[in-house]
A and B are shown apart, each in its own frame.
Chain A
Amino acid sequence: GAVVSQHPSRVICKSGTSVKIECRSLDFQATTMFWYRQFPKQSLMLMATSNEGSKATYEQGVEKDKFLINHASLTLSTLTVTSAHPEDSSFYICSARDLRPEAFFGQGTRLTVV
């Protein structure tokens, strides 16, 4: 299967700082990437969908100025959590797909804001 690499796997940051999470497709060109947030014992909440070279499409209720998504190339998308607060602490997961119907997921990033 295709490989999606997400970094970092864990990050702890101070309240008010910004954190960048990277998502890379290693062996395919990702025309579309998705960013999810997962709360404990809950399903994945889609935050936004990004297509290479275009602005991300955010789901209702997700602040685009707080969660900045950049999909500058066919193999890289980044999610920047700006001015992070403790309530932003969560598990963030990216996924990527090309023209196939399958979406492949990164390993996830555990963000803790202190």
Chain B
Amino acid sequence: GEDVEQSLFLSVREGDSSVINCTYTDSSSTYLYWYKQEPGAGLQLLTYIFSNMDMKQDQRLTVLLNKKDKHLSLRIADTQTGDSAIYFCAESITGGSYIPTFGRGTSLIVHP
């Protein structure tokens, strides 16, 4: 079955880089997603990567995928206080209805 795990908390100083890590278990062809949730709000899709890719960069965000270790990371460069939120890693299997399986979320706290 699918299982997505991520650490629950990360605290960084404003201006530093944040790295949020995630591991998954399914070895099928898959899409892997990063979502951001601010308090009392829904989830905002930040980026996603297909499992045949190693890296994807979008402005301050860099996603790295180690398919051998089933490890996904999200790096946020020059972290700002507005980046404080919960970040969810999710996985979905191709060929189906793309139902994403979510991790428990990493709470990122950015302090001055």
Contact A107 B42 (CB under 8 A): yes
Complex contacts, A6 vs chain B, CB 8 Å: 42
Contact among A42, A102, A110 for B48, CB-based, below 8 A: A102
Contact-residue size bin, chain B (C-beta under 8 Å from the other chain): 20 to 34
Min Cβ gap A86→B in Å is 20
- Docked Cα-Cα span, A4 to B45, in Å, equals 12
B88–A43 touching, CB < 8 Å: yes
Q: Is the CB of A108 within 8 A of B41?
A: yes
Band of interface residues on A: 20 to 34
Q: A42-B104, A110-B40 are in contact. Are A49 and B45 (CB under 8 A)?
A: no
Which of B52-60, B63-71, B75-83, B93-101 contacts its partner? B93-101
Instruction: List the B residue with the shortest CB-CB distance to A99.
Output: B98
Give the A-binding residues of B (Cβ under 8 A): 31, 33, 35, 40-45, 48, 50, 88, 92, 94, 97-100, 102-105
